[in-house]
Amino acid sequence: MRDIQLAFISNRTTSRIFKILGIIERMRLFTIKQLAERIKVTERTIANDMKYIRDYFDGSIALTSGNNGVLFEEKKPTEYKKLKQKLLDNECLFEIIGNIFYGKFARVDELAEHYHFSESSFRRMLNQSNSILKMYGLQWASNPLTIQGEEANLRKFYKDFYYEGIETKYTLLPDLELQNLILTKLEGKLGNYGIGSGTTPASHYYTYFIAIKRASLGFTISLPEELKRLAYQETDFPLMYSLKPDIDKLYNITFPKIEFAWIYLVSLCERTLDRQDQEERFYDHFHSGNEIADLTDDFLSMREVSGKDRQTIATFIRAFFLSRNINHRISPVLNKEMSDLKEVIFNLDYVDYQRNYLFLKKEGENIFNSSIYLEDIAVALTVYSDLILDIYAPSKKIYFLLEGDHFMCQYIRTRAIQQFGMKHSLSFLPLQSLTNDVLEDTDVDLIVTNYSRYILDYTLHTDYLLLKAVPDEQDWQQLEKKIDPYRKKRV
């Protein structure tokens, strides 16, 4: 479960159970000590929680103890999911948030009585979630009880809570009629955009759904005039705006034009990884001045990116910086990332993150104006830039010199092809090709061997890697780091 949802669970044990499940679902193999350290409770508390988890989930999961710890397996995923959702049956704040979203308000004393709390206990429960709301620039307000803040912040909160969070029985889903309308109206036209977007279908539906519901309650959005003008001028915008008559009819409202600009811009700022043409059009249409181009050049210089692929990589990084800048101009909260993504990056890629954060703090001040979400932008930059640098890093020419057991040599060959063969040129040299002239080919980027004699018998001027006769996972990790240095393991 995501942190944004955990904050609204009133029962501490239930909250802790979900934290444990979230960790063991990712780790699969764990120890009681590891869980206690991660969650910051005693090992005895974790042991009691694990007993409860075994009994409650019964045959839907398996927890098998061994010498290296406890192995977690989902035996019946559908049943497991239902049982997890059932843990939240009495969590009233989930229901209250949904009611607030739909404009159903009640006084605090009425809610406390309805859910069988004293008013003081109910207010203490509300206070537990203040830290999460504060991250979105929001707060509880009464009476009646509601969530108060800028409209853009509220929309971001609702989307993160319902779309980014795990599905529960309280999860609000976009109307099926809305989804069918968008698909039917735009049939044959989707995918033919000039600029396009990297947003997913469900994310796009949620953006529509939240905007329509909020506007129907009288909570409309505001946009900077320049961005609104650019959205209206974009050649793709009329396609989106053509949905207006049908939305008005379906929801019996007059859905303002500015709302379509909001949906368009928010969706547009989720950029692609593989459409250089769309990234160029996006930048050309929405940028002004040279600040973002200069920032991109400085960033690529910091990352020591050069060669023929630098311009391609620059196209994507420029579009990324522009998308974060547009988000910032609409509402800084749109650059907020989920806490668990930040935790993953802090744990597994902190060096790159810190370098990117300090770079943005120093060089990006004019573009992001000392944003309170600069950490989040740095996290997104770390993930996105590593993906782009990995995808568009030049293909390498690699020679493999394999010896030893025939089946082991075939295993190494097969795994190397599966892992690297789609992008890089791999050659497995036969005996008759093994000469100094071949090994000194200036076009070769790396020589890989599991036979140490070759290192002694030949003078290798080319970069090389010596594997064990029977390579282990550490060998494969070293090989991947040599071949694809930008590829990072994120789990």
Q: How far is CA 263 from CA 70, 152, 193, 199, 322, in A?
A: 46, 11, 15, 11, 17
CATH code of the region 3-86: 1.10.10.10
Consecutive sets of 10 residues in the chain, 491 residues long: mean pLDDT of each?
88 92 91 93 94 94 91 94 90 94 95 94 93 95 94 96 90 94 73 74 93 94 96 90 95 96 94 91 93 95 88 96 96 92 86 94 84 91 92 88 88 92 87 63 81 68 84 90 76 49
Answer yes or no: are the C-beta atoms of 220 and 253 closer than 8 Å.
no
How is residue 369 annotated by DSSP?
A: -
**Which CATH class for the 397-483 domain?**
alpha beta
- Please report where in the chains the tokens 């049908």 appear, as a residue: 246
How buried is residue 293: exposed, middle or buried, by Cβ count under 10 Å (0-12/13-18/19+)? middle
Q: Judging by beta carbons within 10 Å of its beta carbon (0-12, 13-18, 19+), is residue 91 exposed, middle or buried? A: buried
What are residue 69's phi and psi, to 5 degrees?
135, -155
pLDDT of residue 486: 77
Predicted confidence at residue 208, as pLDDT, reads: 96
CA dist., res. 467 & res. 250, Å (int): 64
pLDDT (tens digit, 9 = 90+) per residue, 143-191?
899 999 999 999 999 999 999 988 888 999 999 999 999 888 876 555 5
Where do the domains of the chain lie?
Answer: 3-86, 92-164, 176-268, 276-391, 397-483
What are all long-range contacts of 464-471, with beta carbons under 8 Å and residues at least 24 apart? 467/412, 469/403, 469/404, 469/408, 470/404, 470/405, 470/408, 471/412
Token readout for 28 is 């699969």
Helix ranges restricted to H, 349-451: 350-363, 365-368, 374-391, 406-420, 436-439
Domain 92-164: state its class: mainly alpha
* Percentage helix, strand, coil for the chain under 3-state DSSP, each rounded to 5: 60, 5, 30
pLDDT at 236: 85
Cis amide linkage into residue 327, ω under 30° from 0? no
First-to-last alpha carbon distance for the chain, in angstroms, is 16
**Cβ 89 vs Cβ 115: under 8 Å:** no
Q: What is the reported pLDDT for 422? A: 87
Q: Which helix (H) or strand (E) holds 7?
A: none
How many whole angstroms separate alpha carbon 171 and alpha carbon 460?
Answer: 61
Question: In whole angstroms, what is the distance from residue 391 CA to residue 183 CA?
Answer: 31
Same fold, 3-86 and 92-164: yes
- Specify the pLDDT at position 241: 93
* HSE of 152, CA atoms in CB hemisphere, 13 A: 18
- CA nearest to 263, candidates 217, 315, 204, 215: 204
Query: Is residue 15 a contact partner of residue 9, using CB atoms and an 8 Å limit?
Result: yes
The helix (H) or strand (E) run that includes residue 4 is helix 3-6
Give the contacts of 353 (CB within 8 A, at least 6 positions apart): 345, 346, 378, 379, 382
Return the pLDDT at 435: 66
Element (H, E) at 82: helix 77-86
Q: Is the peptide bond before 174 cis (omega within 30 degrees of 0)?
A: no
pLDDT per residue as tens digits for the range 399-452: 898 888 889 999 999 999 998 988 899 988 776 566 666 666 667 888 898 888
| Cα angle value 460/465/471 (rounded, 5°) | 140
CA torsion sign for 196, 197, 201, 204 is negative
Q: What is the distance between the alpha carbons of residues 20 and 49, in angstroms, rounded to a whole number?
A: 9
**pLDDT of the residue at 127:** 93
- Structure tokens of 445? 């980027």
